[in-house]
């Protein structure tokens, strides 16, 4: 029973954190359905251990799929930020090189090239 409660709690935290994102809706709905099924089995006066274990595994699988998609998206966002930062750095370096070529003074660095 403890395993079921932990699976439900963990899955509900993830679905609450990602409910607003349309990217994850199919997975969120799947996890929510598995949570509902498991909750319904738990509240029954009599339940079979194997059915409960199967429902827990179904929930864990759906939850892992949702987590995987969320993590993939986070990695993509981080990679895009890194590329953007690298592009900004390259643009700054190119601008500095252009200014030095023309003899501009960089007051931020205090150097003077002529």
% of the chain at pLDDT higher than 70: 90
How many domains is the chain partitioned into structurally? 1
At 22-51, the pLDDT tens digits run 889 999 999 999 999 999 998 888 878 888
pLDDT of residue 12: 93
**Rg value, the chain, Cα:** 26
Whether this prediction's pTM lies above 0.85 is answered by: no
**Domain range for residue 47?**
2-112
Report, as an integer, the average pLDDT of 14-22.
Answer: 89
At 62-96, the pLDDT tens digits run 999 999 999 999 899 999 999 999 999 898 988 88
């Amino acid at each position: 029973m403890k395993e079921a409660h932990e699976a439900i709690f963990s899955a509900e935290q993830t679905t609450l954190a990602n409910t607003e994102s349309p990217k994850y809706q199919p997975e969120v709905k799947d996890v929510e359905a598995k949570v509902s099924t498991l909750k319904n089995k738990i509240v029954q006066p009599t339940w079979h251990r194997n059915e409960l274990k199967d429902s827990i595994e179904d929930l864990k699988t759906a939850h892992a799929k949702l987590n995987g998609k969320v993590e993939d998206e986070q990695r993509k966002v981080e990679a895009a930020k890194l590329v953007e930062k690298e592009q900004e750095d390259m643009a700054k370096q190119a601008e500095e090189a252009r200014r030095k070529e023309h003899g501009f003074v960089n007051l931020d660095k205090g150097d003077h090239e002529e």
